[in-house]
């Protein structure tokens, strides 16, 4: 019994199928590499900006007094715009929001543990929870003039 396709047609179809599989895999791998590179770049950016912002006098003052917190709260939109980030939240030593990009959240507890930042460590994480959607979040300690950790800044 003869096969309905010639050998040349079968070889050509096999090559087209193989090239299609290679193209799909290459596209997926390229997309994945670009996504990962974008997240690494964004982590560096957000962590650097958060570390700089945590040193600002207005941020440290916000943790020391209600008037300082109100002054920072008023400046958050301009700080966010100038820094090129999506949001900013300042937490006290208990993890309570002192100032936030969403003013209605001031006075509420931050949903994640901040113990590492209170211990002096800075880190980033990719999160898909919360009102910001998928985002790269940096948590950094805020230190007073003597170098003691007095709160946490998150962007």
Query: Residue 96 gets which letter from DSSP?
Result: B
Identify the pLDDT of residue 130: 64
pLDDT (0 to 100) of residue 1: 66
pLDDT > 70: percent of the chain = 96
Predicted pLDDT of residue 61: 87
pLDDT, tens digit, 9 for 90 and up, residues 95-140: 999 999 999 999 999 988 899 999 999 999 887 766 666 788 899 9
The closest alpha carbon to 75, from 52, 53, 94, belongs to 53
80: tokens are 């966010």
CB 49 within 8 A of CB 84: yes
Q: Are 82 and 58 in contact (CB under 8 A)?
A: no
Tokens for 42, please give them.
């964004």
Q: Is residue 61 a contact partner of residue 71, using CB atoms and an 8 Å limit?
A: yes
The tens digit of pLDDT for each residue in 67-99 reads: 888 888 888 888 888 888 888 999 999 999 999
Q: Which of 7-16, 62-71, 90-99, 144-153 has the lowest mean pLDDT?
A: 62-71
Separation between Cα atoms, residue 39 and residue 141, nearest integer Å: 22
> For residue 87, what pLDDT is reported?
86
Which residues have a Cβ under 8 Å from the Cβ of 80 and sit 6 or more positions away?
A: 86, 87, 88, 101
Residues forming beta bridges with residue 127, ordered by sequence position: 135
Does residue 44 have a pLDDT over 70? yes
CA–CA gap between residue 21 and residue 27 (Å, rounded): 10
Task: Give the pLDDT of residue 120.
Answer: 93
């Amino acid at each position: 019994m003869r096969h309905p396709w010639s050998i040349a047609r079968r070889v050509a179809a096999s090559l087209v199928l193989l090239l299609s599989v290679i193209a799909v895999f290459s596209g997926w791998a390229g997309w994945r590499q670009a996504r990962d590179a974008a997240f690494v770049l964004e982590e560096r950016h957000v962590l650097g900006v958060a570390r700089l912002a945590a040193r600002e006098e207005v941020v440290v003052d916000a943790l020391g007094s209600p008037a300082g917190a109100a002054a920072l709260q008023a400046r958050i939109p301009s700080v966010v715009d100038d820094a090129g980030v999506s949001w900013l939240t300042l937490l006290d030593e208990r993890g309570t929001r002192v100032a936030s990009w969403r003013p209605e959240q001031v006075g509420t507890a931050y949903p994640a543990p901040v113990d590492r930042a209170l211990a002096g460590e800075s880190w980033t994480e990719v999160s898909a929870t919360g009102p910001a959607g998928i985002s790269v979040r940096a948590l950094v300690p805020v230190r007073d003039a003597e170098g003691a950790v007095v709160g946490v800044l998150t962007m």
